[in-house]
A = this chain, B = another copy of it.
Amino acid sequence: MAEEVRDLREQLIAKVQKIREAKIPILVLVEGWAAAGKGSLIKELISELDPRFFNVVSPAITPETEARYPFLYPYATAIPENGKIVFLDSGWMENCVRKILSHEITRPEYRRRVRQVNEFERQLRDAGYLVLKLFLDIDRKEQRERLTQLLEDPNTEWRVTEDDLWQQREYKRFQEGYQQFMQETEAAAPWHTLDGDKRKAAVSAALQLLVETMDHALQTGKYNGEPFAEEFPLRKMPKLAEVDLSPTIEDEEYRKELKKLQSRLSELHNIIYRKKIPVVICYEGWDAAGKGGNIRRVAYPLDPRGFDVMPIASPEPHELARQYLWRFWTRLPRSGHITIFDRTWYGRVMVERLEGFCTEKDWQRAYNEINEFERQLTDWGAVVLKFWIHIDQDTQLARFTDRQNTPEKQWKITEEDWRNREKWPQYEVAVDEMLQKTSTENAPWHIIESNDKKYARIRALKIIVKALEKACEEQIGREMEG
């Protein structure tokens, strides 16, 4: 046995280098019973690996993270870079099964979480991640003996929690819970159960699995998932060319409306903050459409301690090295806060599509992946608003020319803007497709007519105020029921 393990370790070390060269990221989830030896197993797996190529993460299931971020947040923010391995010491299984058994979450919430887990695992797989899921199994008697042993030693006593003892008492229910969860989450990445009663055999089996999984990936090459379309309830969107851009607003009405809406938004922000409702506002639109000014009018009445504007530029190396939604997961607001994205994850199906920064499969798949991501946000309770700030080509030309000719505006216009302008027709095709495919009922698009910037600001503010009022009312309604 010892020799077999030594041999597997050597194979693993060699494979890790190949994986690094092939830029394949690996996520190893280690779940299992309390006292099953998850920590020790991970220790054995990493024991001779070069520490530059892996990380061990214990997803911080702190009350703060749980209460204030989406369910998948601790996992989605912990995924490895290309060519590296992350070992998760417990993760989404424990966070679903324990919570449903303790009635901390409802049955419908459990169902949603299972669905989110399947979405998450599939998205990682389709982006070329290896997801290896291990369940370390021990029987009830073995667990009792190990817990007793830990409790009897004053040096290890503290490791046994009330929750662990509760699990021992409720062993049968947990067993059913784990089994059901594993059956429900086999679609994208299969589960592997290891016999934790036999520690050495478990290590050997885990090493074997890891080596085989890597080997398979090295032979078949980095996976790139096929596009697919789930049936999301979609709103019918007009083509951009059909949008009437003539609406305008009179100066006096603008000032009156602006003041009224900003004052209401300020009140609502206060309620949002106290009711801990998360808000995500997305701005996309043509260059010079007036995104910046529009955002400023929305931000003005907000308490600066409760919102952030996230300007999205080209991804940096550490961002490019991970699944493309990672850099947005890490920028989400805490509940009760507002994040305004100045450009968003929709870059995937616009600039990245048109400039060839990703493969066709990548951006084709992204429509559905984005719909899932946004549903994960609205499941969490977030208000998700998406604006396409729209102008016509003549208006853009006029504004570009004005920027060029006005010294204090020249920084706003670059060669790239002119180059992008030449690709207007291709962008229009991409934007039309995006609007058709991602205007879901839970996170619909709003086309904001912005030939008149003032009109556009009032339009956006009205939509935001209405959505926040609805969210506050619903939250208050839930509190009164509960």
Contact = CB atoms under 8 A, between A and B. Distances in A.
Nearest to A47: B300
A296 B52 CA distance: 10
A6 B323 CA distance: 45
Interface string A207-222: 0000000000000000
Given A17-B408, A20-B411, A270-B155, A55 B316 contact: no
B304 A89 contact: yes
Nearest to A14: B408
A309 B317 CA distance: 20
A115 interface: no
Contacts of A299: 46, 51
A184 interface: no
A51 B292 CA distance: 8
B296 A55 contact: no
Q: Pick the most buried of A14, A46, A51, A300: most chain B CB atoms within 10 A of its CB.
A: A51
Q: How many copies does the complex hold?
A: 2
B305 A89 contact: yes
B17 A51 contact: no
A304 B46 contact: yes
Contacts of A14: 408
A295 interface: yes
A166 interface: no
Contacts of A56: 304-305, 308
A65 to B, nearest CB: 11
A21 interface: yes
A309 B51 contact: yes
Interface string A383-418: 000000000000000000000000010010000000
Nearest to A43: B304
A110 B21 CA distance: 51
Contact of A317 (B46, B62, B64, B316): B316
Given A39-B304, A303-B39, A52 B408 contact: no
A340 interface: yes
A305 B50 contact: no
A55 B318 contact: no
A259 interface: no
Interface in A284-314: 292, 295-296, 299-300, 303-305, 308-309, 311
Contacts of A20: 411
Given A51-B299, A292-B52, A305 B17 contact: no
A255 interface: no
Nearest to A299: B51
Nearest to A311: B52
A153 to B, nearest CB: 11
A42 B340 CA distance: 18
A50 B411 contact: no
Interface of A: 14, 17, 20-21, 39, 42-43, 46-52, 55-56, 58, 62, 64, 87, 89, 155, 158, 270, 274, 292, 295-296, 299-300, 303-305, 308-309, 311, 316-318, 340, 342, 408, 411
30 contacts: A17-B408, A17-B411, A20-B411, A21-B411, A39-B304, A39-B305, A43-B303, A43-B304, A46-B304, A47-B300, A48-B296, A49-B296, A50-B292, A50-B296, A51-B295, A51-B296, A51-B299, A51-B309, A51-B311, A51-B340, A51-B342, A52-B311, A52-B342, A55-B309, A56-B304, A56-B305, A56-B308, A62-B64, A89-B304, A316-B317
